[in-house]
Structure 1
Amino acid sequence: MKPRARDLNISFGQLQPGPLNAITDVPGVRVGHSDVRGRTANGRDILTGVTVIEPRAGSTSQQPCFAGVHVLNGNGDATGLEWIREAGLLTSPIAFTNTHSLGVVRDALIVLDREQQADDGRLYWNMPVVLETFDGLLNDINGFHVKPEHVAQAVRSAAGGPVAEGNVGGGSGMICHEFKGGIGTASRRLNSALGGWTVGAIVQANHGIRHELRVDGYPVGRYMEQVDSPFLKASLPHPGMGSIVVCLATDAPLLPHQCTRLAQRASLGLARTGGGNEDHSGDIFIAFATGNDQVPPAAYESKKAPTTDNLSMVNNDHISELFLAATEAVEEAIINALLAADTAEGNGHAVQGLDVETLLKALRRAGWPGDATSGT
């Protein structure tokens, strides 16, 4: 298994991670991947997939949670966000995939959720949340190779525990800071005096310019410009083109507008790693909170719906620590995605994975005092 950032004694910020340093440190959150690999009859390479994040086991449409969204740069696409903006409710799992598979993943999630519901004659509707980034350099994106069965496989595989990172699921064909990118995750847990809550992040990183890359604040990218790599910048029509999508989860009892504020902090984590400045990048973030576990389904029958509901919320005087946790978790998740990803080839292109020695050498040249062997 490839080392993560903390295995190299690289730390980020002030707060401590949860035991897995993953979004699954938030109780009940589950993650599943489905890889779609192969080659077409006419010799095109397939390197893509689906990643699914479930807020908790069971039907999210019947056990919704509060959520909020933020778009830093809208050169991307997503489904289901308008209902979250309107009602503040997340009523589906969240899926990551490639740009041209957005629709099929959405439709498949509807079918899978409908199969879980009792056939009692009530009207059924759902507007799943699916986020995308573009993998068309390494993957035959116009072949539409993601199918409903791949979505079903990702849902079936969703589980708590450690989360696979790098070239997996929706991140299979992604590029980050001109290295191989993909899926990354991290978490932060507040101490009991600050509420004891956890914030977890998972990213699909497909963005950034190599020169701008920063790790723990050190400008490592400027020392990597001459890294021998089979990846040619000329392969990208625009340097840094791509996208990053982020999902934040917390067990804190946040209301929808507070979830939106949490989602905004993903922008700060992205900025800390040197991203967020490219016009050709779709940077879309979602945050959900499971701290209120009795949020009523949006499709209540009117005669059964209560007039009011009792809810909890984090006092705004104590929300800053959650903002910091989100910022740090996103920052670390991006670097974990880079370190986990392996060199990949597809359709005449090759993108190098960020190897440990290249990163450590650049960190030392940038003035980093740590040492992976001495533990300092």
Structure 2
Amino acid sequence: MRARDLVDFDGTPGTWNALTDVPGVEVGYTTLVEGDGALVPGIGPVRTGVTAILPLGRERVGTSVAAGMFSFNGNGELTGSHWIEETGSLALPVAITNTHAVGPVHRGVLEWSLARNPRLQEGWHLPVVGETFDGYLNDINGRHVREETAIAALDAAASGPLAEGSVVGGTGMNCYGFKAGTGTSSRRVTVGAQSYVVGVLTQANFGARHQLTIRGRQLGPQLLDDNPMQDAARSAPPGSGSCITVVATDAPLLPLQCKALARRVSLGLARTGTTGSHFSGDVFLAFSTANAGALDSGIGDAPDGIQRLDFVPWPAVNPLYDAVVQATEEAVVNALVASDTMIGRDGHRSPGFPNDVLRSAAMR
């Protein structure tokens, strides 16, 4: 089930209503779910995984795309982000996992990329890996995510519909005190005479229960019961967590325009109720698959030493902003709707969202 089966959303989605509606983008999964009962570090229980995103698919790893990132709240990690800020470009796959698995996933992305494109052996690289914290349900210090976990996700990358909820990097994540995780959505956009697609994938692990708002209706205050995360002994207050969101489009954009799209993720999240917790790492990345290779670091492919970019004029970008906000909102609700109740380490329970609430006529 997806949120659109239960409630209406703004905008027109692509074929799969997913990040992979953007031509060329591929996404791969590895989900790790093992064990029950008391936490034994290094043994489990395990509730985690890796999400891998290939901006130009497996055949063009190492080819740059225009990119920009935005940190709404910096209690999180997105490796390689300084170089994205410096050059406005992204050339390797993007991966998302749990907070304490960034290191092995970083190395896994590098190893996979070097094997996939031997030409990359001659250079240096800064893989992009994002994270959110799944320690409430997962043995986060157990080193269950390894280099080969990331490599398996990259090997599995493909186009087509995507799994949502308690899968891949989002396996152990929670949102607004409910089980959530991975969500995705897309929008078809017309700019002038041209048609484009904007896709969003989010790893949702943020928000306090009382904040939850869906399609303008504040549901959180009606759903305060059965909130074990709030009652559990935790080092951070309700609302803590993180959100990593990736935006992709085939519209030709400048790096600063990609950054502007990444900023609009904040507005999509706000539609779902969050005001941004001090303890939440909310970091967003946007890229454009157009102008592929134009921002490669070398000049060998440009005989005159000059590279050129096509781009949507700044006054025409508003439909793309609309699409990011709409798709982000729907992606978060998709993550909630797709997730069932999960029991993790030490019997910690994250309740599934009561989807029947969205069947109410008042939601339409």
Q: 1:286-365 maps to which residues of 2 (within 5 A)? A: 286-298=285-297, 300=298, 306-348=304-346, 349-360=348-359
CA–CA separation in structure 1 for the residues paired with 2:164 and 2:54: 17
Distance in 2, Cα, partners of 1:277 & 1:301: 42
> 2-side partners of 1:206 and 1:255: how far apart?
30
3-state secondary structure, aligned to 2:213: coil
TM-score normalised to structure 1 length: 0.90
In the TM superposition, what is the alpha-carbon distance from 1:305 to its structure 2 partner? 6.3
Closer, same or farther: CA 306–127 of 1 in aligned 2, 3 Å: farther
Name the counterpart of 1:281: 280
Structure 1 residue 91 and structure 2 residue 91: aligned? yes
> What does 1:167-182 correspond to in 2, within 5 Å?
167-182=166-181
Q: Are 2:142 and 1:146 equivalent residues in the alignment?
A: no
> How big is each residue's C-alpha offset from its partner over 1:117-163, in whole Å with a ceiling of 9 and x where there is no partner?
3369x732111110000000100001111011111110111111100
Corresponding residue of 1:373: none
SS in 2 for 1:102: helix
Alignment of 1:44-83 (within 5 A): 44-58=44-58, 61-83=61-83
Q: Distance in 2 between matches of 1:139 and 1:257?
A: 37
Aligned residue identity for 2:244: V
Cα deviations by residue, 1:26-62 (Å, 9 ceiling, x for unpaired): 1011111101222486763111000011112236553
Structure-2 residue corresponding to 1:196: 195
Match of 1:11 among 3, 8, 13: 8
Normalised by the length of structure 2, the TM-score is: 0.93
- Cα distance in 2 for partners of 1:343, 1:180 equals 6
Between the aligned partners of 1:108 and 1:205, the Cα distance in structure 2 is: 23
Write the letter of the residue equivalent to 1:352: P
* Letter in structure 2 aligned against 1:331: E
Q: Could you tell me how far apart the structure 2 residues matched to 1:166 and 1:234 are?
A: 22
Q: CA RMSD in A?
A: 2.0
Q: How far is 1:231 from its partner?
A: 4.7
Mean alpha-carbon deviation: is it higher for 83-92 or for 32-41?
A: 32-41
What's the secondary structure of 2:217's corresponding residue?
coil
Aligned residues: 358
Tell me if the contact between 1:267 and 1:276 (Cα under 8 Å) persists in the aligned partners. no
SS in 2 for 1:196: strand
Other structure's SS at 1:141 match: coil
Identity percentage of aligned residues: 42
Is this contact kept in 1: 2:29–2:156, CA < 8 A?
yes
Contact conserved, 1:60 with 1:93, CA < 8 A, in 2? no
Does the Cα contact within 8 Å between 1:194 and 1:321 map onto a contact in 2? no
